[in-house]
Structure 1
Amino acid sequence: MLTCPDGHPSTATDYCDVCGVALSSGAAATPPAAAPVPCPACGVPISGRFCEVCGHDSALPTPGRAPEPSAGVPDPTAVLPESVAPTVEFGKIEPNIAAGQSVWVATVGADHALYERMLARKGPDAERVEFPGFYPERRIPLQGNDFLIGKRSVSQGVLPDIDLGIAPVDIGVSRSHARIHVDRDVLTVTDLGSTNGTSLNGVDDLIPPGTPVPLRSGDRIHVGGWTTITVTFEPV
């Protein structure tokens, strides 16, 4: 088991289980900062794995350099004619929902009021959490039933549907922090025993771990030091 630079024990070898800080391989010391390199997707200088502007994961293949498809197998990256290619815009609901239906949408943003409340009550990571200077909102249509809120860890097999491990990272968010469950027009959130807990709608009282709590359209889920997820039920 490794120990992160802030003294947290961690079973993961890439990022601390508790605070999310990066770990060097086989050691507890913080690895030296890498020199900035251009983002393969947008060209903006980056010093970490994720681009703070477009969110591109530098561990993935460079855009536009996908492997050649095998003979007889359709290329999923091929550009379709305008007559059949769907129009998909960032921040828009995916166009595979029938018109006239409604869908739950989770909007992830940085909440300065939550950050100030966390500092006032001196939360577990109050001295280490920093409010980001730039954090574009992300809209995530909840198409399915269960959605994990947390931070990605390949070594632990944690692959959140709402991944809060994209830079800039809220270190107060746990790997597996909470879960949203959708049952038609009924929505609930359950805290999964996270380190800093989960609260709702500007109230500091934490919801009990392991207990599903019903949500209504417009409710706000607070996790970590400054992350708020607003859920809305919207017509397509």
Structure 2
Amino acid sequence: MAACPSGHATAAEDYCDVCGASLAEPDPGESPVPALADCAACGTPREGRFCEECGHDSLAPVPVVRWHARAAPDRAYFRRVLAVGGPDADTLVFPVDDRPCRFDLTGPRVTVGRGGSRSRVPDRELDDPGVSHLHVEFVADGPGWAVVDLGSTNGTTVDDDPRPLLPHTPRPLADGSRVHLGAWTTITVHSH
């Protein structure tokens, strides 16, 4: 068995089985122990071939980032909606069933709404009286996602910004962004 520049025993003849370092002779003046790059999957500093955090094999292709969303009744957002008032505010009752609904963000777009429209049914239906039939659309935005208000009646806000989104204008999202819509719904997006 050969040893790599980092001292790992390896059966391979070209790259170390443990850390992926080249077994070729280094150029004169080059450090004999190459610095390891961070994990391509999660960004954690790498100490060997396999990431200690997520298990990604450094010799494997970089994984595709996948996104998902979690829609749930949000009591704090509901209180803010009630504080602003509105014609139906005194009739709103926070739902008893406050379990979250998880869905993947796949394809070029995912629509979210209350449903009931004859012309177009949303990809994800929410049981919230303040959500329009077609309220928002999540659209693929390069490696990430953006949210677009589809001209909803009650508007859409993101994170802690109280200003509603301009209709039909994409707003890029980050991992952990919170999209508020309807009377009590918050949709949190995550990359994984």
Same fold (TM over 0.5): yes
1:147 has 2:110 as partner = yes
- Structure 1 pair 146–129 and aligned structure 2 pair: CA distance change class (3 A): same
Aligned equivalent of 2:146, options 180, 185, 188? 188
Query: Which residue number in structure 1 is paired with residue 119 of structure 2?
Result: 157
CA distance in structure 2 between the partners assigned to 1:117 and 1:111 by the alignment: 10
Aligned equivalent of 1:229, options 184, 187, 192? 187
Give a deviation string over 1:159-200, Cα, whole Å, max 9, x none.
111211xxxx21000001111101342211111111100001
Give a deviation string over 1:211-234, Cα, whole Å, max 9, x none.
111111100000001000000111
Aligned equivalent of 2:176, options 218, 227, 232? 218
Root-mean-square deviation (CA, aligned residues, Å) is 1.8
Query: Which residue number in structure 2 is paired with residue 14 of structure 1?
Result: none
AA matched with 1:201 = D
Give a deviation string over 1:65-110, Cα, whole Å, max 9, x none.
xxxxxxxxxxxxxxxxxxxxxxxxxxxxxxxxx9943211010101
Aligned equivalent of 2:166, options 208, 221, 225? 208
Which segments of structure 1 move beyond 4 Å, counting only runs of 4 or more?
none
Query: Which residue number in structure 2 is paired with residue 107 of structure 1?
Result: 70
Q: CA deviation at 1:123?
A: 3.4
Q: Aligned residue pairs: how many?
A: 132
CA distance in structure 2 between the partners assigned to 1:125 and 1:148 by the alignment: 25
Report percent identity of matched pairs: 39
AA matched with 1:142 = L
CA distance in structure 2 between the partners assigned to 1:141 and 1:119 by the alignment: 30
- Structure 1 pair 190–130 and aligned structure 2 pair: CA distance change class (3 A): same
Aligned ranges 1:121-140 → 2 under 5 Å: 121-140=84-103
Structure number with bigger Rg: 2
AA matched with 1:132 = P
State the secondary structure of the residue aligned to 1:108.
Answer: strand
| Runs of at least 5 residues in structure 1 that lack an aligned partner in the other structure | 1-97
AA matched with 2:188 = T
Q: TM-score of the superposition, structure 1-length normalised?
A: 0.52
- Structure 1 pair 123–104 and aligned structure 2 pair: CA distance change class (3 A): farther
